[in-house]
């Protein structure tokens, strides 16, 4: 269940795997750019964007608390590349936190209200709040930055597995 020096434990793996799936789902929102979202993906999966985003906000907070508790148990990162790996993981956390937060600011700033899994948490006001909407407009550029980070992260994991042939991928996914 807990992490160890040689591998990540069940809870870390479950959080990593489920959030990876949900985050990739969130990126389907980019599909709105194709035919104004009028396609199967746009009609079935993308409408869940706000609910899944809110769920991801809860999950990332739990994951950060869990990571804090496990920080002395986790597999160590050694060698000259260690600061890069730690910095990269830090930025992935920052992205996972800022995406739902900026999404919320966008919805509230535009006065759209907030409905999560069918529950109206904030009523639609129709009133725009300039500074909230301005912060919220970072949502789309941040999404592109996070996408680039994720591609680098997955590329690094595959590089370790296929080229360096070490245990990096196995200790998280194996």
Which residues of this protein are in contact with ligand HEM, per CB under 6 A?
12, 16, 20, 23, 26-27, 29-30, 32-33, 49-50, 53-54, 56, 67, 75, 77, 85, 89, 92-93, 95-96, 99-100, 103-104, 106-107, 139-140, 143, 150, 153-154, 157, 168-169, 171-173
Q: 128 with 121: CB under 8 angstroms?
A: no
Instruction: Report in angstroms how near the CB of residue 86 gets to ligand HEM at its nearest.
Output: 9
Instruction: Report in angstroms how near the CB of residue 165 gets to ligand HEM at its nearest.
Output: 14
CA-CA-CA-CA torsion sign (11, 17, 19, 20): positive
Q: Which two tokens stand for residue 151?
A: 């591609």
The burial of 104, by beta-carbon neighbours within 10 Å (0-12 exposed, 13-18 middle, 19 or more buried), is given as: buried
Instruction: Report in angstroms how near the CB of residue 50 gets to ligand HEM at its nearest.
Output: 4
Residue 42 vs 106, nearer CB to ligand HEM: 106
Both ends of the chain: CA-CA distance in Å? 15
d(CA 94, CA 162): 28
Residue 40 vs 79, nearer CB to ligand HEM: 79
Residue 42 vs 143, nearer CB to ligand HEM: 143
């Amino acid at each position: 269940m807990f992490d160890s020096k040689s591998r990540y434990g069940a809870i870390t793996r479950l959080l990593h795997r489920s959030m990876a799936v949900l985050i990739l789902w969130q990126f389907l929102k980019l599909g709105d750019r194709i035919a104004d979202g009028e396609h199967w993906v746009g009609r079935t999966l993308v409408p869940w964007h706000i609910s899944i985003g809110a769920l991801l906000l809860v999950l990332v907070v739990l994951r950060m608390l869990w990571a804090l508790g496990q920080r002395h148990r986790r597999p160590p990162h050694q060698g000259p590349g260690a600061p890069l790996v730690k910095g990269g993981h830090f930025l992935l956390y920052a992205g996972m936190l800022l995406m739902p937060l900026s999404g919320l600011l966008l919805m509230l700033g535009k006065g759209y209200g907030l409905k999560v899994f069918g529950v109206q948490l904030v009523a639609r006001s129709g009133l725009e709040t300039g500074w909230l909407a301005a912060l919220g407009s970072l949502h789309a550029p941040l999404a592109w930055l996070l996408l680039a980070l994720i591609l680098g992260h997955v590329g690094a994991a595959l590089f370790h597995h296929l080229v360096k042939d070490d245990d990096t991928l196995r200790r998280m996914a194996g």
